[in-house]
Amino acid sequence: MGRKVALVRSAQSIQAADSLPSNVGRASRVHALIDAFGLNDKLDIIEPEPLDNDTLTIFHSEEYIDCLFAIDSDSEYSYGSNKSDEDDEKDRQQRFGLVHDCALFEGVEEHVRYAAGGTVAAANILVDGQAQIAIHWEGGRHHSQRSKAAGFCYVNDVVLGILALQKRFSRVLYIDLDLHHGDGVQDAFLYSSRVMTLSLHHYDRGFYPNSGGEISEGRGNGAGYSVNVLLQRGTNDSSFIHVFSAVANKVLTAFDPEVIVVQCGCDGLAGDPHKIFNLTSNAFARSIKTVLGWERPALLLGGGGYSLPECARCWTRLTAIACGYDIAPEADVPEHVFLNEYAPGFDMLTDVMLIEDSNTNAYLDSIVQAVQAALPNQS
């Protein structure tokens, strides 16, 4: 493609990402495989700075950030030993969603600051014209709300990145490829006509986050600018590629974005523990090739994905595509520190499951037609 590519990472940001309880060690494996394929020599490596509170609170509330960072290096809360204060603090954590899947953990502040700082740094690279494609695989935390953690997401780096992009770009298209609905990003821009969100996800009763069940969910000036593609259990590469190509090109025509942000959560891979979709890296590769083929600045982010080797395979391949190459799924995994985790095949393949794709052709066509009807400025 001949476009300049920047990968945002540092030893500190990788370590901070590795500490996230839902994805322990994932970042190390992703970047080790990227380097094993020699891709680090084909792009610019940009080291992020941890984001300060002033920038975090451009989106998040000060009260939420204060509660989020109320754990010190000794894993003791700042309230001290007073039982009443302890109860008050636990109530506050409950209010801000810092319980269950988003319980506070040692290292959460460093994780949040680097996750957000990396995405904002990647956005600023595009704003300043230092590169045409910026990548931050430790970003993509799309569930967090302004004042609430959710779905393993303690910060919405995506929203902060989009706000940074708006310093230069008037129209931002956000595409979410995660198995789960990109609810936090959609909610942040629900009333905006400057940001269009397109989320392709599984939707079913009781399936997290129990949102994204309508094709179009924009409000006010944002009517028609929040688009959802609801996919059924067993979605395979053929169905995903078909509906993505059809819908994405219609969105491109209707919105004419100046920059594109893609959340590449890969928990829809067949090898992911969720086992809801039946995708291989081909679905993501074709989608990213389509987006990059539009020849507009692009920000690629990570997201969900709970099989460490599958995430590393997928995001390494997408990194190669951004650099103008591709890695065949049949390619051998090069020798590196985590090679044994790719047994028994030691290749880049994702093994599909023997399950039925519940999406019929008629259903997929109806989704495309419904999206067409919902988009703004349609005759």
Per-residue pLDDT reduced to its tens digit, 210-269: 999 999 999 999 999 999 999 999 999 999 999 999 999 999 999 999 999 999 999 999
Q: Label residue 86 by pLDDT band (50, 70, 90).
A: confident
Mean pLDDT within 53-76:
84
* CA 80 to the chain's CA centroid: 37
Q: What's residue 89's pLDDT?
A: 84
- Looking at the DSSP assignment, which residues form a beta bridge with residue 236? 278
Write down the pLDDT at residue 81: 56
pLDDT score at 71: 73
**pLDDT over 90 at 80, yes or no:** no
Can you give the pLDDT at residue 75?
42
Average pLDDT over residues 102-124: 97
Cβ 144 vs Cβ 155: under 8 Å: yes
And the tokens for 76? 């003791």
Active site amino acids: 143
Mean pLDDT of all residues in 19-47: 98
3-state secondary structure of 262: strand
pLDDT surpasses 70 at 74: no
Least confident of 40-54, 87-101, 179-193, 331-345: 87-101
Burial of 44 (0-12, 13-18, 19+ CB in 10 A): middle
Give the burial class of 361: count Cβ atoms within 10 A of its Cβ; 0-12 exposed, 13-18 middle, 19 or more buried: exposed
Q: Check residue 73 and give its pLDDT.
A: 35
Confidence of residue 366 (pLDDT cuts 50, 70, 90): very high
What is the SS3 assignment for 260?
strand
pLDDT confidence of residue 87: 74
pLDDT tens for each residue of 266-314:
999 999 999 999 999 999 999 999 999 999 999 999 999 999 999 999 9
Residue 72 has pLDDT above 50, yes or no: no
Percentage of the chain lying above the pLDDT 70 cut: 96
Judge contact between 337 and 219, C-beta under 8 A.
no
